[in-house]
Amino acid sequence: MTELLQTFSNNLLPILIISGAGFLLGKFLKVEPRPIGRVTFYILSPILVFNLLMESQLTLDRIGLMMGYAAAVNFLVAGLAYLAGRIFRLDRIGLAVVVLTTLFSNAGNYGLPLISFAFGQEALAYASVYFVTNAILINTVGVLIASLGHLNLKESLLGLLKVPATYAILVAMLMMRMGWQLPTPLARTVSLAANAAIPVMLVLLGLELQRAVWTRNVRALTIVAVLRLLVGPFVGMGLSSLFGLNASARQAGITEAAMPSAVLTTVLASEYDLDSSLVTAIVFTTTLLSPLTLTPLLLYLGR
């Protein structure tokens, strides 16, 4: 019990405090998350990804392996969500919500800081690759699911070009391949912005959760909570052996697989007329419950 409390206080409590501050900021001062989200998405996140990859010097093979692992975890858990939704006879929109919120974990503004606290910089570099893969899938597959098949496929695929972190990983891979380094002024600029990314992500998480509403669709909520928080890490463990991940990549991958539903799914739900109350309730509930499952998982992975 002492080890569990220490793991919680050292790794999860700082995240809860900062995101809690964001929650209170949104509640009492009515701060809108959208502008902060845009700054994070278009500036801070890609710089963080670039900086992590450049500092870690991951090989291109390892980056590709981690991207394949992340995609495999997400699609396998989402497949289980689809089967569960059909078994419990969810309607079409409910099924789309369940698949969407199970497919995409909060790999960015929750997963990255947690892995940084728990396992350090090398694991954080692998987690950033997982995060980029997640972002690419959200802007392609996620849009297709949210639109229930009514969106033009070309428009959906063009969404990939709107993910700045994609360019960050491509530039980092090119520079690593060529052996290039940034000049000192640019290197310091990148380091400064990267250090700001994680705190801003946590404040943004709190701001987004403040807008959550409740839902009566308990079946859908339960399906996602069980798959994201309980089944996800076991899927991650199994696939980590299959993909032959090293220790740091395994810690990062399994932790990301256990993350609650992504906040960005609430944006997709609103944009494509899904059940927004159900989506926000799923994101809020899985985030609220996640310390109960993540604490023993971090303790296990840290041994």
Residue 271: the pLDDT is 63
Residue 5 has pLDDT above 70, yes or no: yes
Rounded to whole angstroms, the Cα distance separating 296 from 134 reads 24
Query: Domains along the chain?
Result: 2-301 (1.20.1530.20)
Residue 149 has pLDDT above 50, yes or no: no
Mean pLDDT value across the chain: 85
- Model-level pTM greater than 0.85? no
Give 75-141 as a DSSP string. HHHHHHHHHHHHHTT--HHHHHHHHHHHH-B-TTTTHHHHHHHHH-HHHHHHHHHHHHHHHHHIIII
Q: Integer distance in angstroms from the first to the last C-alpha of the chain?
A: 15
* Band of residue 272 on the pLDDT scale cut at 50, 70, 90: low
C-alpha of 42 from chain center: 16
Residue 248: the pLDDT is 94
Residue 150 has pLDDT above 60, yes or no: no
User: Contact 37/197 with Cβ under 8 angstroms?
Assistant: no
pLDDT in tens, 176-192: 888 888 999 999 999 99
Residue 152 has pLDDT above 60, yes or no: no
Over pLDDT 70: what percentage of the chain? 89
CB atoms within 10 A of CB 34: 11
pLDDT in tens, 35-92: 887 788 788 888 888 887 788 767 888 888 999 999 999 999 999 999 999 999 888 8
pLDDT in tens, 228-264: 999 999 999 999 999 999 999 999 999 999 999 987 7
**Token pair of 116 as six digits:** 């940084």
